[in-house]
Amino acid sequence: MDTIFIKTPLGITKIDGDENGISAITAGNDGNISAPDQYPVHLREAAVQLEEYFEGKRTEFTFKLNPAGTEFQQKVWKALLDIPFGKTMSYLELSKILGDVKAIRAVAAANGKNPLWIVVPCHRVIGSDGSLTGYAGGLWRKKWLLDHENPIKQQTLF
């Protein structure tokens, strides 16, 4: 397993993976930024695509994913991939899509265990009342990501 660290507007992002795909992308404030010329070949595309996302040039990711999780978690993460860029969905709506409205807490828990920050867009899942609820990277990051993906940018008055 190889690891690199890239600088993003939301802090230092850690990317883990190998030739089988990217297994984890996490946000934080720790880690030494990796030199792009030293990125392992199997992590290079993920770094490039994340940089393009933050520059506003990319709305979907195409590199190979390989997250570790239970069968149920994998099912939830796969459903998250279907939430379009710039859109949100409630935990209840996601539970309905997965076929069991009563599984809302399990869906929320699986969402919270998502190891692929941004790429598997758990930040696009909100409360039924539109509130920003639960986000492992911090609610301020979730708000930033949703604002970044919003096609209608709020203009400042001053």
DSSP state of 15: E
Share of the chain above pLDDT 70, in %: 96
Share of the chain above pLDDT 90, in %: 86
Do residues 82 and 28 share a domain? no
Q: Helix, strand or coil for residue 126?
A: strand
The CATH number that applies at residue 7 is: 3.30.160
Do residues 123 and 82 share a domain? yes
Q: Report yes or no: 21 and 50 within 8 Å, Cβ to Cβ.
A: no
What integer pLDDT is reported at residue 29 of this predicted model? 85
Q: Which of 43, 50, 122, 145 is catalytic?
A: 122
Digit-coded pLDDT (tens) for 112-128: 999 999 999 999 999 99
Do residues 30 and 76 share a domain? no
**Is 114 a member of any domain?**
yes
Give me the residue label for tokens 């939830």: 76
Digit-coded pLDDT (tens) for 14-47: 999 999 999 999 998 888 999 999 999 999 999 9
Which residues constitute the domain of residue 145? 71-149
**Pairwise CA distance, residues 74 & 80, whole Å:** 10
Digit-coded pLDDT (tens) for 74-85: 999 999 999 999
Number of H helices, E strands in the chain: 5, 5
Do residues 75 and 144 share a domain? yes
Query: Catalytic annotation on 122?
Result: yes
The CATH number that applies at residue 143 is: 1.10.10.10
